[in-house]
Amino acid sequence: MHIQTLLDKLWQQYCHDTPMVETIYKLFLAREKKIVNDHIALRTFNDPRVSISVLAKPFLDAGYIEGGEYHFEIKKLFAKHYEHENPAYPKVFISELLTEKFSIDLQDTVQNILNTISEEYLENPEKLLTRGVSWTPVRYKTYQALLAESEYAAWLYAFGFRANHFTVNVNQLTNMKTIEDVNEFLIQHKIPLNTSGGAIKGTPDELLEQSSTKAFPVKREFEEGFYSIPLAYYEFALRYPKPNGELYSGFVTASADKIFESTDNS
């Protein structure tokens, strides 16, 4: 699969399952000439069958290189970002849940679901990434048990492998120049912002400012019936130049910790 095909598929899945994202994208397109993605975010477990290094493979094969590494102590996550010299390709931020830091019950649930993924998918990360949930049954009771320990684990259980979010590159917009402009535009269109930790995460000193919408809830079918739970949000990033003049390409752990809360149920 060509890397552009993979990115397109992830985008189509993201828009299809979260129609509000497509609505916002179209609002942006009506105001701006083009929308370029700063990054996409992928989530996984640190099991060797599906870990960061597995999901990163199609990107590395397409010429992406490793960027930074990130530790999220509170959320018990490890992450890496990958970037491509062609600015048309978004950075790829992949995080993994450090499952050994959670209860035996959570670890068992993760093992059980991973055990049901067929070899065909485990050997083909492109397929895995675009398939969504690869396990059955998906029980609301299990979702809630995971949620009590880790919103991240519960989200992965309910929605599987997919892009958690896409992020608009604000530097590439022509009419909206700042994160404040973007937030104002969203507010005008009655799009709810994630205000956990403030509407703008990061500062010019940290060389990265981001904001995001609240996660949009979707009706997810579980064994027990349909439940409305948050799926995905849309994010916006403005990068500042480093002393050498190049735009900062990394991520800020403190801000990302807050943005992970966008999919919290609270």
Q: Least distance from C-beta 40 to Ni ion, angstroms?
A: 8
Q: Least distance from C-beta 105 to Ni ion, angstroms?
A: 29
Cβ 152 vs Cβ 43: under 8 Å: yes
Instruction: Please tell me the count of residues contacting Ni ion according to CB under 5 A.
Output: 3
User: In this structure, which amino acid lies at residue 137?
Assistant: P
Q: Least distance from C-beta 221 to Ni ion, angstroms?
A: 27
Indicate whether 41 belongs to the interface with Ni ion (CB under 5 A). Answer: yes
Cβ 59 vs Cβ 2: under 8 Å: no
**String marking each residue 223-242 x if it binds Ni ion according to CB under 5 A:** ------------x-------
E strands, the chain, are 37-45, 65-72, 77-83, 91-97, 163-169, 208-212, 216-222, 225-232, 235-239
**What long-range pairs does 65-68 form, CB within 8 A, spacing at least 24?**
67/91, 67/249, 67/250, 68/250, 68/251
H or E element in which residue 155 lies: helix 151-159
Q: Which stretch binds Ni ion (CB under 5 A): 29-37, 38-46, 83-91, 197-205?
A: 38-46
Q: Least distance from C-beta 255 to Ni ion, angstroms?
A: 9
Q: Least distance from C-beta 168 to Ni ion, angstroms?
A: 10
Q: Which is nearer to Ni ion, 109 or 167 (CB)?
A: 167
Q: Per CB under 5 A, which of residues 131..190 are in contact with Ni ion?
A: 167
Residues that bind Ni ion (CB under 5 A): 41, 167, 235
